[in-house]
Amino acid sequence: MSKSLTRRTFGVLEHKSARVSEAKNAYKAKLRELEQQFESKAAALREAYLAAVLEIHEVATSSI
């Protein structure tokens, strides 16, 4: 009987371990996706900012 209980216990633990592992992998995948989205948006914002600064600089230096 203890063998049966041991097998059931390890079976449950293996199942829970697999579910935790799947959740961890899903979390990491979503995190990578969000990081890529953030980097893409940050790059676009940097580009727009630098374009605005350049435009301001060009206007300022052309009027001198």
Alpha helices in 1-64 (DSSP H): 2-62
Global confidence as pTM: 0.66
pLDDT at 2: 54
pLDDT of residue 50: 98
Say which DSSP state 63 is in: T
Rg (CA), the chain: 28
DSSP-assigned letter for residue 64? -
pLDDT, tens digit (0-9, with 9 covering 90-100), for 39-59 = 999 999 999 999 999 999 998
Task: Determine the pLDDT at residue 41.
Answer: 98
Give pLDDT tens digits for 7-50. Answer: 777 788 888 999 999 999 999 999 999 999 999 999 999 999 99
Rounded Cα gap, residues 8 and 2, in angstroms: 10
